[in-house]
Amino acid sequence: MAVSNPAQGILSDELREKRDQVIELLKKAYWMEIETVMSYVANSINPDGVRAQEIREALEADVQDELGHAQQFGNRIKELYGVVPGSLDFRAEQSSLQPPDQQTDIVHVIRGVIEAETGAIEHYNHIIEVTDGVDWVTQDMVITILHDEEGHRRLFEGFLREFEVDGLA
Ligand SMILES: [Fe+2]
Ligand SMILES: [Fe+2]
């Protein structure tokens, strides 16, 4: 016997088109998180110098957060009857987080992190708006993730302030 879909909510037949739209937005979010993991791993290793240590440790901790976000986005894609994409679909976009010419250039890394977090914040705000009233579960999940990204961004804004005060940024 075939199971019937829920009459209401994002899993209903009526909202199939909306569901596909949400899945596409979640896939983009998934790739953003995966790329952030790559960038933060590299930038938690590369930087040199006395001032680099704090930044490296913060990014090392963030790697776990961003990986957890990617897993959450992947699971939600599946719950909405989508498929988590394979690695061949990946397209890199984070030009601001490539290694600087000098590995003591911490300001380059800090600015790159702020740009990546800003991009995530903008995309997640968009998902929250698109899902409003139609997919509460995705919206709730993304609000929590958005909170993490705002925290990450604020931390690195604070790092940048210190360099600005010292005339280094
Ligand atoms: Fe994230
Ligand atoms: Fe983040």
Q: Tens of pLDDT along 59-106?
A: 999 999 999 999 999 999 999 999 999 999 999 999 999 999 999 999
**pTM, entire model:** 0.95
Residue 1 — very low, low, confident or very high, per pLDDT cuts 50/70/90? low
Residue 128 — very low, low, confident or very high, per pLDDT cuts 50/70/90? very high
Q: How many CA atoms lie within 13 A of 88 on its CB side?
A: 0
Average pLDDT, the chain: 96
The rounded Å distance from CA 145 to ligand 1 centre is 7
H or E segment at 29?
helix 16-43
Residues with CB under 5 A from ligand 2 (ion): 149, 152
H or E segment at 155?
helix 136-165
Residues with CB under 5 A from ligand 1 (ion): 33, 66, 69
The rounded Å distance from CA 136 to ligand 2 centre is 22
H or E segment at 112?
helix 106-130
H or E segment at 26?
helix 16-43
The pLDDT, as a whole number, for residue 86 is 98
Size (the chain), residues? 169
The rounded Å distance from CA 125 to ligand 1 centre is 13
The pLDDT, as a whole number, for residue 99 is 96
The pLDDT, as a whole number, for residue 33 is 98
The rounded Å distance from CA 161 to ligand 1 centre is 22
Proximal ligand: closest to the CA of 40: 2
The pLDDT, as a whole number, for residue 169 is 84
Sign of the CA dihedral 113, 116, 118, 121?
negative
The pLDDT, as a whole number, for residue 2 is 76
The rounded Å distance from CA 66 to ligand 1 centre is 4
